[in-house]
């Protein structure tokens, strides 16, 4: 069925983008392995090994890691508007190609100056900041209501799969060969994915020459196949969106989710290697286990959410809140409990793995909830959501730099875990209080979509 291929290709795009984004988290360990040497000694090592290394202090490293998120904060809002106008296929393609080129330029930019590298990371963040909105806009034209959680989970599964693949692969490439090769490898993956995307993906079911007529009619029956050009002249009710409590419930719980996700995926390699003393390869494999946990929760939560909705065990409204609690709320509890296991590396790592894994449940809550309240303006809402959420990408590392600048201890990391957990509890509480699952912004050319969707659930059960 073509709609599942569309979701699968969206997953592949996310896989490539996240691999390119997080590769530097592992590679930077090799890039600055001579950080305790003088400039002259570092130059001698570089000449001997023929692989460039750099003397960067912790503040410079944090700026390199967090620079991506400055760009990632700027792009989503205009990107959401552009996706609504041009379509998710084109915007996703531009995001992937741009990020692939910028990733290939990282080894060169690092050799020129750390400032140029930071600029490239910011530009890469801007390129990848277009992806979320483009993905949701595209899925809004392919996902039927009772498969919405499943298709969104499949589309975002690439994020979890990247966590499994990227860290051990990056560690292996950096150790067995050299760190520049890791950036070139992911750039090539991105180029191949772009070719497949152009050949296989179409904006709407009606435009796809390879889809069966039965599937087109099936999707039309659920009001998913909006024409690509229908909405270009329709103004966006921006004031209503900004004033909506349902929108801000999504934005704040996503911000809470991002604090946990970005903190763990960005800082966990440093935490694991410096606190527990694991080498590069072991750190890479432990990070992949975190990704496996995320994969499991992402896919199973999507299937379970749609099963619950389809059989009316819970309403859409109740299901979204349940999986938000299982995701962000449970992660918060586990992070706060990290201090309890400070004397056991095994228990600490198990807790961290479970905390990261449960975040996968949010893909069955936050993203589908955007399509619950509006499909036609989903790109704008996810743009606002992504911009706000990405702030955590540079706020978190800044806090880390302030807390561990003098003495890198488990106690200081534990305090950071508690801060992140507190933010997550706040976000999920707001979502539980103010989230909605009914159409909030009625399109001028459409009927009440929520009523149509409830009729479709009944028709499914009758059959």
Give the model's pLDDT for residue 459: 46
Mean pLDDT across 3-21: 92
More confident residue, 357 or 447: 357
Tokens, residue 276: 């527990």
Give the model's pLDDT for residue 309: 87
Tokens, residue 52: 């460039």
Tokens, residue 410: 């488990």
Do residues 266 and 131 touch, judged by C-beta distance below 8 A? no
Task: Give the mean pLDDT of the chain.
Answer: 82
More confident residue, 1 or 305: 305
Do residues 131 and 14 touch, judged by C-beta distance below 8 A? yes
Torsional sign, CA 293, 299, 303, 306? positive
Read off the pLDDT band of 433 (50, 70, 90).
very high
Read off the pLDDT band of 461 (50, 70, 90).
very low
Outline where 177-244 has alpha helix (H).
179-200, 213-221, 238-243
Give the model's pLDDT for residue 276: 81
Mean pLDDT across 437-449: 62
What value, to the nearest 5°, has the Cα angle with vertex 351 and ends 347 and 354? 140
Residue 203 burial (CB count, 10 A): 22
Read off the pLDDT band of 233 (50, 70, 90).
low
Please state, in angstroms and rounded to a whole number, the distance separating the CA atoms of residues 452 and 400.
48
Q: Concatenated DSSP letters for 144-161?
A: -GGGHHHHHHHHHHHHHH
- CA-to-CA separations, 256 to 36, 114, 275, 396, in angstroms, rounded: 36, 30, 25, 12
Torsional sign, CA 129, 54, 27, 93? positive
The H or E element spanning position 387 is helix 378-390
At 152-185, the pLDDT tens digits run 889 988 888 887 888 788 888 988 889 999 999 9
Residue 421 burial (CB count, 10 A): 24
Length reported for the chain: 463
Say if residue 119 is exposed, middle or buried (CB neighbours under 10 Å; 0-12, 13-18, 19+). middle
At 345-389, the pLDDT tens digits run 889 899 999 999 999 898 888 888 888 888 778 888 888 888 888
At 258-275, the pLDDT tens digits run 888 888 877 788 788 878
Give the model's pLDDT for residue 341: 82
Quote the pTM value: 0.77
Q: For residue 211, what is the DSSP state?
A: S
- State which CATH number among 3.60.20.10, 3.30.2350.10, 3.40.50.1950, 1.20.1250.20 fits the domain covering 2-208+236-462: 1.20.1250.20
Mean pLDDT across 200-209: 87
Please state, in angstroms and rounded to a whole number, the distance separating the CA atoms of residues 92 and 457.
31
Is residue 45 pLDDT above 50, yes or no?
no
User: Per-domain residue ranges for the chain?
Assistant: 2-208+236-462
Please state, in angstroms and rounded to a whole number, the distance separating the CA atoms of residues 247 and 289.
33
Tokens 């975040």, located at residue: 359
């Amino acid at each position: 069925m073509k709609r599942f291929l569309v979701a699968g290709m969206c997953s592949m795009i996310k896989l490539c983008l996240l691999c390119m984004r997080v590769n530097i988290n592992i590679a930077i360990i090799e890039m600055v392995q001579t950080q305790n040497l003088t400039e002259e000694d570092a130059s001698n090592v570089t000449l001997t090994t023929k692989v460039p290394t750099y003397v960067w202090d912790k503040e410079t490293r944090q700026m390199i890691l967090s620079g991506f998120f400055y760009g990632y904060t700027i792009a989503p809002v205009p990107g959401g508007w552009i996706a609504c106008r041009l379509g998710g296929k084109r915007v996703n393609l531009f995001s992937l190609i741009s990020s692939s080129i910028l990733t290939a330029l990282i080894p060169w930019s690092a050799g020129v100056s750390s400032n140029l590298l930071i600029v490239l990371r910011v530009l890469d963040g801007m390129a990848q900041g277009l992806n979320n909105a483009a993905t949701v806009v595209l899925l809004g034209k392919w996902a039927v209501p009772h498969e919405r959680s499943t298709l969104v989970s499949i589309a975002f599964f690439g994020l979890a799969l990247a966590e499994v693949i990227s860290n051990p692969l990056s560690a292996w490439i950096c150790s067995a060969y050299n760190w520049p090769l890791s950036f070139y490898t992911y750039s090539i993956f991105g180029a191949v994915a772009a070719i497949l995307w152009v050949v296989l993906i179409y904006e709407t079911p009606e435009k796809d020459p390879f889809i069966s007529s039965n599937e087109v009619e099936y999707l039309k029956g659920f009001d998913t196949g909006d024409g690509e050009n229908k909405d270009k002249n329709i103004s966006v009710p921006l004031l209503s969106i900004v004033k909506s409590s349902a929108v801000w419930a999504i934005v704040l719980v996503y911000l809470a989710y991002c604090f946990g996700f970005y903190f763990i995926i960005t800082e966990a390699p440093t935490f694991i290697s410096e606190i527990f003393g694991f080498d590069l390869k072991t750190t890479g494999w432990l990070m992949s286990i975190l990704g496996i946990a995320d994969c499991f929760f992402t896919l199973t939560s999507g299937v379970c959410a749609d099963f619950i909705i389809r059989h009316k065990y819970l309403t859409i409204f109740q299901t979204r809140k349940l999986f938000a609690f299982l995701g962000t709320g449970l992660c918060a509890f586990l992070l706060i409990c990290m201090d309890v296991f400070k004397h056991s590396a095994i228990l600490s790592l198990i807790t961290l793995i479970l905390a990261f894994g449960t975040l996968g449940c949010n893909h069955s809550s936050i993203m589908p909830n955007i399509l619950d309240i509006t499909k036609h303006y989903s790109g704008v809402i996810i743009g606002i959501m992504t911009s706000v959420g990405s702030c955590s990408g540079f706020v978190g590392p800044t806090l880390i730099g302030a807390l561990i600048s003098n003495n890198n201890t488990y106690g200081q990391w534990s305090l950071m875990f508690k801060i992140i957990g507190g933010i997550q509890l706040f976000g999920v509480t707001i979502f539980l209080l103010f989230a909605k699952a009914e159409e909030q912004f009625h399109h001028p050319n459409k009927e009440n979509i929520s009523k149509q969707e409830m009729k479709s659930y009944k028709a499914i059960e009758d059959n």
